[in-house]
Structure 1
Amino acid sequence: MDNAAFHKRPDIQDLLSQHGHQILWLPPYSPDLNPIEKMWAWVKAKRKKWLVNSIDKLFSRFFNECMGN
């Protein structure tokens, strides 16, 4: 599990434990173990290339790129 603050809440940890789950924490920065990090790196690179200044424009370009438009 990543190190998001809400994952470390005692009630969340208790809930997982009650259902027989063992928590395996990822190192603080582990892009090779957390694929979304690669996606965010791609998005950040595209944002710089596209020179967009709003989240709406970024997601519109991102959607079009993913859909092949």
Structure 2
Amino acid sequence: MPASERPPFRDHGPRRLAHTAPETAQLIAATGTPLLFFPPYSPDLNPIEQGFAALKKRREYQDQATLDDIVRRYH
């Protein structure tokens, strides 16, 4: 696939040296793939955060339960 048609590589990982090291960026750039970084903490861009928020909201409106009850309810 020509470099102009490649989607950008999005680093979803934590802001660790391995993810942001100049050598890593150079290796990716050498393939012609654009490299984009998310902000350090971006819950709006992380789908699991939306799921956790929905579970938390449902939990707020239900009676207190044991851990076993919660696991059975959502599993």
TM-score, normalised relative to structure 2: 0.46
Higher relative CO (Cα under 8 Å, sequence separation at least 6) belongs to 2
Higher helix share: 1
Higher strand share: 2
TM-score, normalised relative to structure 1: 0.49
Instruction: Return the index of the structure with the highest Cα Rg.
Output: 2
